[in-house]
Amino acid sequence: MPADWSAPQDDVRTRILREATRMFAARGFNGTSLSDIAGAVGIRKPSLLYHFPSKDELRKSVLELMLARWNELLPRLLRAATSAKGQFDAVVHETVAFFVEDPDRARLLVREALNRPGEMGALVSKYVRPWAAVVCDYIRKGQEQGRVYADVDPEAYVAQIINLMISSIATYECIGDVAPPGVAATEMRARHIRELCRVAKSSLFLPDAAREEEPAGATKGS
């Protein structure tokens, strides 16, 4: 092999993980065979099983990789979460962007939540609860200051919004069919994301008018 194949193992492993992610997300774990994945990578099934001892280990690795990526994003998110209202958009937007960047991440999470609720619950506890706790604190502080609706249930709110972000991106291919046709799918998707952010924000913060005379903030639409 050429010299630039200095780490062929990692390269193949990465490609396997990438294809497995795609196919698990699109067709589900049970709907994807090892031969399918191997074929997409360009190798044979036993070669794949050389890199991953079993199909289930591959699944765990896929999930792990995705959550590792998510973890990389966390610090930035936590920093934003502790800031003022203008930064609330940043948290939502950052999170949405993470899943929009690769919707397979969202699909994978939803599938896993349906297939293995217990396992997924443990991952949620580990990966999202710390961040959620920070946001909850921020919400409670906002409630004390009168910026946030008093009847918000912080934990439940955060759970719902996370769920909303993930699942609406996971199913955005057919969610758009709620609206009458005639709108380009790509534009409809943008409207959905914008509305998602609006819902998240306006169900948390009191309207500007009710708080003070502040120029209406532009919506998050990027």
Partner DNA sequence: CAGCCTCCCTACCAAATGGTAGAGAGGCAC
Partner DNA sequence: GTGCCTCTCTACCATTTGGTAGGGAGGCTG
Please, what is the minimum distance in Å from the beta carbon of residue 84 to DNA? 49
**DSSP one-letter string for 117-181:** HHHHHHHHHHHTHHHHHHHHHHHHHHHHTTSB-TT--HHHHHHHHHHHHHHHHHTHHHHGGGS-S
What is the distance between the alpha carbons of residues 190 and 59, in angstroms, rounded to a whole number? 31
Contacted entry of DNA, its own copies, none for residue 47, CB cut-off 5 to 8 Å set by kind: DNA
Query: Least distance in Å: CB of 52 to DNA?
Result: 8
170 binds DNA (CB under 7 A): no
DSSP sequence for 8-67:
HHHHHHHHHHHHHHHHHHHH-STT--HHHHHHHHTS-HHHHHHHSSSHHHHHHHHHHHHH
Residue 130 is a binding residue for DNA (CB under 7 A): no
Residue 149 touches its own copies, criterion: CB under 8 A:
yes
Residues in the chain, overall count: 222
78 binds its own copies (CB under 8 A): no
Beta bridge partners of 148: 205
Measured from the CB atom, the residue of 84 and 174 that comes closer to its own copies is 174
DSSP 205: B
Q: Can residue 113 be called a binding residue for its own copies (CB under 8 A)?
A: yes
CB of 217 to its own copies, least distance (A): 10
The backbone torsions φ and ψ at residue 168, rounded to the nearest 5 degrees and listed phi first, read -75, -30
Binding site for its own copies (CB under 8 A): 27-28, 30-31, 107, 110-111, 113-115, 117-118, 120-122, 124-125, 128-129, 132-133, 149, 151-153, 155-164, 167-168, 170-171, 173-181, 188, 191-192, 194-196, 198-200, 202-203, 206-207, 209-210, 213-214, 219
Binding site for DNA (CB under 7 A): 1, 3, 8-9, 12, 32-36, 38, 42-47, 49-51, 53-56
